[in-house]
Amino acid sequence: MGVEFTKIAFTSDFGYRDHYVAVVKATILSRVTRSVTFVDVTHDVGRQNVRRAAYTVGVSGKYLGEDTVHLVVVDPTVGTDRRIVVFKPRDHCVFVAPDNGVLTLAYEWFRGEVYYAKPPSKPVSHTFHARDVFAPLVAEIVEGRLREHVEPTSLDAVVKLNYPAYERLGDRVHGCVLYTDVFGDVITNIPNGSLEATSYRLITRGGEFVVSQASSYSAGLAQQPLLIEGSEGYYEVAVNKDSAASVLGVTEGDEVILVGTH
């Protein structure tokens, strides 16, 4: 692979109450011969929330560098015949995840080579693949033996989530919700700088709202949605001291439509 991996970025829906995260880390540490640093991206994406994890994983991949193996365990179909996918972006890190669409945004943002992990050579538990399958595979990748444990596949073969596309249709801008954060801010897939009007009619499955472009979260009145150019290159909808996700009635994957008013 040509890269020495020194970091393991761990994303899961295990939460912080149970022992699962510690056991997975301990299993990896027992199998590697070099020093590695664990980066806990989050273990609180929401139980089985593959879409929320997809954004978290994709964004963290932009910052953690080529010496990182990203371990992603948000795996609602653990114990079934779903595959494990290994994604190696060009000149970048490595992602290891269930083939359930959780790497959809990573595929879009980074491009690269896609592999399926070979099946385990011995019996494993039906409920804790993070320990019995993912952790040993990550350890082998850290040790430089990725090619021995994978087989090539194509981007067309792997599972991808469906996101409503960003597009302009007449006076309407169509997009979707990529992520809702802990503050309730709604991150869309509409690129920063692409909206020219100062005010829009926002249509969501939760209703219709008037939104205005602003430069800070504190610019709006109570319950007033604002459009703000976000830190990851996409417009956010926010509500001052409230949850825009709740006010708009949206979650990850929902379509949003903006119609300019002036």
Can you tell me the distance from the alpha carbon of 30 to that of 32, in angstroms, rounded to the nearest whole number? 6
Q: What is the pLDDT of residue 224?
A: 87
Q: Where residue 222 falls among pLDDT bands split at 50, 70, 90?
A: confident
The three-point CA angle 38-40-41 to 5° equals 130
**Amino acid letter for position 105:** L
The three-point CA angle 206-200-56 to 5° equals 60
Q: What is the pLDDT of residue 1?
A: 46
- Please give the helix or strand (H or E) that residue 151 lies within, else none: strand 150-152
What would the pLDDT profile of 121-180 be if each residue is shown by its tens digit?
A: 888 999 999 999 999 999 999 999 999 999 999 999 999 999 999 999 988 999 999 999
Beta-carbon neighbour count of residue 238 at 10 Å?
30
Q: What is the pLDDT of residue 28?
A: 98
What would the pLDDT profile of 191-218 be if each residue is shown by its tens digit?
A: 999 999 999 999 999 999 999 999 998 8
**Amino acid letter for position 30:** S
When the pLDDT of each residue in the chain is averaged and rounded to a whole number, the result is 94
**Amino acid letter for position 123:** P
Percent of the chain with pLDDT over 70: 99
Q: What is the pLDDT of residue 152?
A: 96
Q: Nearest-CA neighbor of 84 among 178, 146, 158, 26? A: 158
Q: What is the pLDDT of residue 9?
A: 98
Q: What is the pLDDT of residue 85?
A: 98
Q: What is the pLDDT of residue 261?
A: 84
Q: What is the pLDDT of residue 220?
A: 75
Average pLDDT over residues 90-103: 93
**Amino acid letter for position 132:** D
SS3 50: helix
Domains, the chain, with CATH or none: 7-152 (3.40.50.10790), 167-260 (2.40.30.90)
**pLDDT reading at 44 higher than 60:** yes
pTM above 0.85, yes or no: yes
**pLDDT reading at 230 higher than 90:** yes
Beta-carbon neighbour count of residue 22 at 10 Å?
10
Q: What is the pLDDT of residue 262?
A: 64
Percent of the chain with pLDDT over 90: 88
Can you tell me the distance from the alpha carbon of 70 to that of 93, in angstroms, rounded to the nearest whole number? 8
Which tokens is 135 given? 């952790």
**pLDDT reading at 2 higher than 70:** no
